[in-house]
Each structure stands twice: as C-alpha cells, then as structure tokens.
Amino acid sequence: MPPLKQHFRILNTDPGSAARLGLLSTVHGEVHTPAFMPVGTQGTVKALTPDTVKSLGAEIILCNTYHLYLRPDHRLIESLGGLHRFMNWPGPILTDSGGFQVYSLGKLRKVTREGVIFQSHIDGSRHKITPELAIEIQEALNTDIMMCLDECTPWPAGFQEAESSLSLTLSWAERSRKARTNSSSQALYGIIQGGMYLELRRRAVEAITAMDFDGYALGGVSVGEPKPLMEQIVSETAPLLPEDRPHYLMGVGTPEDIVRAVDCGIDLFDCVMPTRCARHGLLFTNAEKVVIKNARYREDNGPLDSDCDCYTCRNFSRAYLRHLYVAGEILAMTLNTLHNIRYYMRLMEQIRSAIGRGQYAAFKTRFLKDRRMSEA
C-alpha cells in the first residue's frame, strides 16, 4: 500500500547542521520534532498516570508489540476499543514490532526465514512471530505508527553474520509492507539494519527506501558497541535517508546521544533510560547526575534542580527525595520518574527552540561542553 499522505513536513532547518524542525501528523494528534518518546512498554509509562505524562510535555509514547501480545493479548485490547482507549492515552502511539525484545531473549528464541520461534519470558509457552503477525498485532492495537519486524544484528558480529541478518530484515520488511491493510490511519516505518558495517548500512538504506515506507528507523545501535562506532554509524547513515520522511533512532539514549543525533538529522528517539534510571535513583540535571541515595543529600534542603519547572523540583528537597528512596517508598519512583521525563522533555524543547532560531550548532557545542564540565 502507498505511504500516508502528509504524514511529516519540515518546518525549518538549521544552517549549521542537518538538524530540522518538523511536524508529524497522526489521527491522534501532532508531534513536534525532534521528539523523545517515553517508553510505555506494557501500556504504561512506569510510575506515572497518562495525564501526568502529557503534562510533562510528551506528545507521543512508545508501547511494545511483544509484551502486549503476550499479556494481556492484542485481541483483548482490540475488543476493548484499541490501545488508546485501553490505557486512556489520547495522543499518538508508536509500537515497536518486538524484534529487539525477541533478540534479547537469547537462547529462548530460534530465528528462521519464516519468523521467530520463542519461549515466553512469563510462563515458558512457545510462540511464533512472523512479519505478518507483527503487523496484525499492531493493527489490532490501532496505534499510529507501526514498525516492521526486523532482526537486530548483535554486537559483535562478523560481516557474513551481519549480511545474513540484514537479508532477513529486508525480506521481513517486504512481507510487512504487503501484510499491511490499514494505510489510511496507521503509518508503517522500515528499519535500517546492517550491524556496524557502513557498506551494509548503505545497502539497507537503498533496499528499504525503495519500498517507500512512511518513515525510516535506524536500528541495531546501542547494543554494546563502543560509543564512537555508534556515532559513526548514525552520522554516516542518517544523511542517506529521504529528507521528506521522519528519521527515528531506536533505543537511544543519553542526553548527549540525542543532541549529537539531532545534529545528523534524526527526528524521533525512545529509550528506557529516564524511567529506568529514575527507579534506580539516578536523576538528570544539567549540573550533575544525582545519585539520590548518596549520604551527601541527607541534609540537603535544596531542590533537585533549581532550573527545572517540574512538580518534584518545585515542591521537594533533595533530602526528602533521598529519604523516600532509601525507605523504599513508592512515591520515590513517581517523583523521580516525573523529574527525569520532564528533564528529557525540556531538553527537546530547548533543541527545537535552537533549531527554530537557526542556532543549533552553537547549542550543541555549548550543551556538550557543559555536560563534560559537570562530569569532570
């Protein structure tokens, strides 16, 4: 089926970089890009209500096909009105195909040309996901952006292994495209794999873009490879993607990763980092990374981040946040997650503002310098 019409348009570009300001249009609302998607793997951004997530500035979230297929079952969600109604999230939702989660199962999975046979991490039951089933699940969920099933190339991988893996991803992408039945309201993105080999990445771009998807994602990065190698893959692959389609960097990452990738023309990001770090007491600020359990905060009456406008920073001291975390209180998870998500949303707001002013290159230089100084 042909791609969606007017799914994405570029509003402004930065004269000193490849950064661009865009608008993503879906039936559930618009997304201003570059954007970060909080991860709601099982139909919830952990520790936060949907209203809270929206109030923090999130316009789109990510949910996971693999997890929702296993529990509670995509057919149940469909019968209850789709994922938006099921979780009461009014905005756009992107669903990952589950390829990375199946990849993470290791010995519990077997990959064939037909699909992936795996054991559930919940009860050990056996399942088989094919490109066609991945699309069927996502159409049942009725999310706004679907992803093709892909095979995430491991790190490290030799050239032949990466080439074989890419061949599978390309075949599955074509099957996903053919399986799609709803092109009027659900976008479908193709995924660029190829491991850490630029030759394979270029080959993947040529093949996947020829299939004419609504958007394109760079997958198979941030899987254990050295950071400079990841940055090289992104910086040399992103410029090859069609300018008129959204560019999505999957599973990335740190604030520094995001700032560098925007410079290469990336529009969408997702990562569990802000929520997972929050649950483990690691909190983001521009001045420092705060490990809230540290004894140095026991009597600290100051806010977590004096520059932050979130509910946590406006109402509670570092001493109180430390007390909650050390005591194992549930409120600690909520307040910490609320702050970290708002930190990421504020970062994206600053990024979009800099691009809009045509000053992104200067923003990137200043931001990365400040981050290095804070960690020195």
Tell me the catalytic residues. 96, 270
Report yes or no: 23 and 355 within 8 Å, Cβ to Cβ.
no
Distance CA 48, CA 46 (A): 6
Omega prior to 34 cis, within 30 of 0: yes
Cβ contact 219:193 at 8 Å: yes
- Give the separation between CA 204 and CA 198, rounded to whole angstroms: 10
User: How many Å apart are CA 174 and CA 148, to the nearest integer?
Assistant: 9
From 269, 271, 284, select the one nearest 338 (Cα to Cα).
284
User: Which single residue is written with the structure tokens 């420092």?
Assistant: 288
- In sequence order, what E strands does the chain have? 8-13, 20-26, 29-33, 35-37, 61-64, 93-96, 109-111, 116-119, 126-129, 145-147, 187-192, 215-218, 247-249, 268-270, 282-284, 289-291
User: Which amino acid belongs to residue 351?
Assistant: I
CA distances from 371 to 244, 257, 284, 346, 376 (A): 32, 12, 11, 15, 9
Copy the structure tokens of residue 55.
Answer: 């109030």
Paired strand residues for 33: 22
Contacts of 133 (CB under 8 A, 6+ apart): 115
Whole-angstrom Cα Rg for the chain: 20
Burial of 45 (0-12, 13-18, 19+ CB in 10 A): buried
User: Do 35 and 348 contact (CB within 8 A), yes or no?
Assistant: yes
Report whether 60 contacts 348 (CB < 8 A).
no
Contact, 281 vs 325, CB < 8 A? yes
